[in-house]
Amino acid sequence: MAQVVRFHTTGGPEVLVMEDAEVGQPGPGEVRIRHGAVGCNFADTYFRSGYYPVQPPCGIGVEGAGTVEAVGEGVTSVAVGDRVSYNGGPLGAYATERVMPAAPLLKLPGNVSFETAAASTMRGLTAVYWLMKADPRLKAGDTVLLHAAAGGVGLLAIQVARLLGIRVIGTVSSEEKAEKARAMGCDEIIFYRREDVPARVRELTGGEGVQTVFDSVGKDTFEGSLKSLRRRGVLVGCGTASGPFPPIDAMQLVLQGSVYFTRPAFADYFADPAERAEMAQFWFDHLSAGRIRVEIGARYSLDQCVQAHRDLEAGKTIGSSVFVL
């Protein structure tokens, strides 16, 4: 019998409930995994609220790390006893144990803990595809603007950028968050609540603007993000913490300097097995070697799931949040 978190209707954090559930045996192409830790991501709130379409009742969570306890017919990529992590597959990671497809599983290096893996598999691979794939023109020596630089993905993206030779201007809301971002290597800080972000970006780039903006905030920052781009720059709309991005006016992109807008999804950048293997190897090689540090800002038990979502949506968290089992 496993403990699982489910919701029977979409809504606020209070719709999340703990339940007992039979796990069962894996079928063809599936595994049974016992979690050591589970990722708590802002994207989880989109499923719970109904912003991402789901059909309740259902589980929640897409990221976890643990030990393979059983494998179904045809599974050759992992074996019983393997330490693994994953991002993707059906909702249901908020659980002590689950059956799931084997396809998303990634074998963990021996020195990467379950907590570290659960705090960084989605966020780390997200940071990698943002910086390596989302803007094909982005290269060493370029400057990017990174909103929410002290968030779970932000702190990892700063470190990936440094490995790739990319300069980062990060936006934060407080001195505490600025300190965290600087500690990870953020080159410049903008306090978005008291500074004019596009004006400061122009000051910090000699009037040119940045090649790429990674905007995980959405509605509240969209206009400023566009105005921070250099000619033919790219706005990567990678999150909507403040609400959805507004409709795009094509002429607005022209007037800003023939800039581009993209709204990428993790699944589309990891659908190709070769690309997936390339980015996963990049991430876990650097993580295992100690060249990337994962900041776990909050740890919860599964029965604290309601509070965890409240903290996420209130912007109280710094770094990654995990459920420790």
Q: Please tell me the CATH superfamily of domain 139-263, with its number.
A: NAD(P)-binding Rossmann-like Domain (3.40.50.720)
Residues 6+ apart with CB under 8 A from 166: 131, 138, 139, 140, 141, 142, 143, 144
128 vs 121: CA distance, rounded Å: 10
Residue 239 pLDDT = 87
Residue 89 pLDDT = 86
160 pLDDT higher than 90: yes
Whether the predicted model's global pTM rises above the 0.85 cut: yes
Q: Could you read off the pLDDT of 87-106 as tens digits, one per residue?
A: 988 999 999 999 999 999 99
Q: Could you read off the pLDDT of 174-228 as tens digits, one per residue?
A: 999 999 999 999 999 999 999 999 999 999 999 999 999 999 999 999 999 999 9
Domain with CATH 3.40.50.720 in the chain: 139-263
Write down the CATH number for the domain with range 2-121+273-324: 3.90.180.10
Domain with CATH 3.90.180.10 in the chain: 2-121+273-324
Tell me the residue type at 26.
Answer: P
Residue 31 pLDDT = 98
For the beta carbon of residue 74, count every other beta carbon within 10 angstroms: 11
